[in-house]
Amino acid sequence: MNAHEIDYKIYGEEMQYVEIELDPQEAVVAEAGSFMMMDSGIKMDTIFGDGSNQESGVLGKIFSAGKRILTGESLFMTAFLNVEHGKKQVSFASPYPGKILPIDLSEKGGKFICQKDAFLCAAKGVTVGIEFSKRLGRGLFGGEGFIMQKLEGDGMAFVHAGGTMAKKELAPGEVLKVDTGCIVGFSQSVDYDIEFVGGIKNTVFGGEGLFFATLRGPGTVYIQSLPFSRLAGRVWAAAPKAGGKSKGEGSILGGLGDLLDGDNGF
């Protein structure tokens, strides 16, 4: 095994967190901001990149960190190492309502492709890189789905899906059409491309975007019902400071009702 062998348990329903049990000298790496809590005896260290090539010298570390810039992530990740003799626990929380998906890379052929902001944490030794598109359509019109992350190795990794998660097993040649933002990830055997929605009415009045992703089997695909960009867009559109209209609480008085019950700010 190149990656550390870790045990884990996932808690919660809508707002989940994963508790990882570390044996002595085992470590896990995580995105900045996902840490929740840890036992004493765990050493926290900020590292360049994903920590998979810390012995490769300065250039290797810079290359590892540089790949993360292209996915819009931080140059640094945080490693949590158990430096004591007994077992210790460290926990990481999901960033918004949804599900935490455990991925055993040894069962996925050593590679899993996921949305660029889906990665939560992984056993140290797992490589977090970028999956470049080799097709022009993806590059020009892929939107959120253009630059995907690839998780490589033989250890455990954890990704986050917003809302409710759907798992689809695609047969050879079977095609699934998905909104690009709703993709969580898929196995490396799945072929991924971008397709034009088509039709004047769909293009002008559809409101669903001009392109969607086509995923062709064989392989496993994970879909999320609530991408963070969709959630943020709805919140931003409804916020009065953004020019949206307050929804109120059902009062026939509308804004006056909000003023009377103290919900309206001055």
Q: What is the mean pLDDT of residues 192-214?
A: 64
Q: Tokens representing 97? A: 């309502």
Q: What's the pLDDT score for residue 259?
A: 46
Phi, psi of 240 (to 5 degrees): -55, -35
Q: What is the mean pLDDT of residues 173-179?
A: 93
Residue 168, burial from CB neighbour count under 10 angstroms (0-12, 13-18, 19+): middle
Task: Report the percentage of the chain scoring pLDDT > 90.
Answer: 44
- Termini Cα distance of the chain: 60
The band of 261, judged by pLDDT with boundaries at 50, 70 and 90, is very low
pLDDT digits (tens, 9 = 90+) for 66-102: 555 555 566 678 999 999 999 999 999 988 899 999 9
SS3 for 201?
helix
Q: What whole-number distance in Å separates Cα of residue 218 and Cα of residue 193? A: 14
pLDDT digits (tens, 9 = 90+) for 23-42: 999 999 998 889 999 999 99
pTM of the model: 0.79
Which residues, 6 or more positions from 61, have their beta carbon under 8 angstroms from its beta carbon?
48, 49, 53, 54
Which of 36-40, 183-187, 209-213, 243-247 has the weakest average pLDDT?
243-247
Q: What is the mean pLDDT of residues 16-23?
A: 95
Residue 118 has pLDDT above 50, yes or no: yes
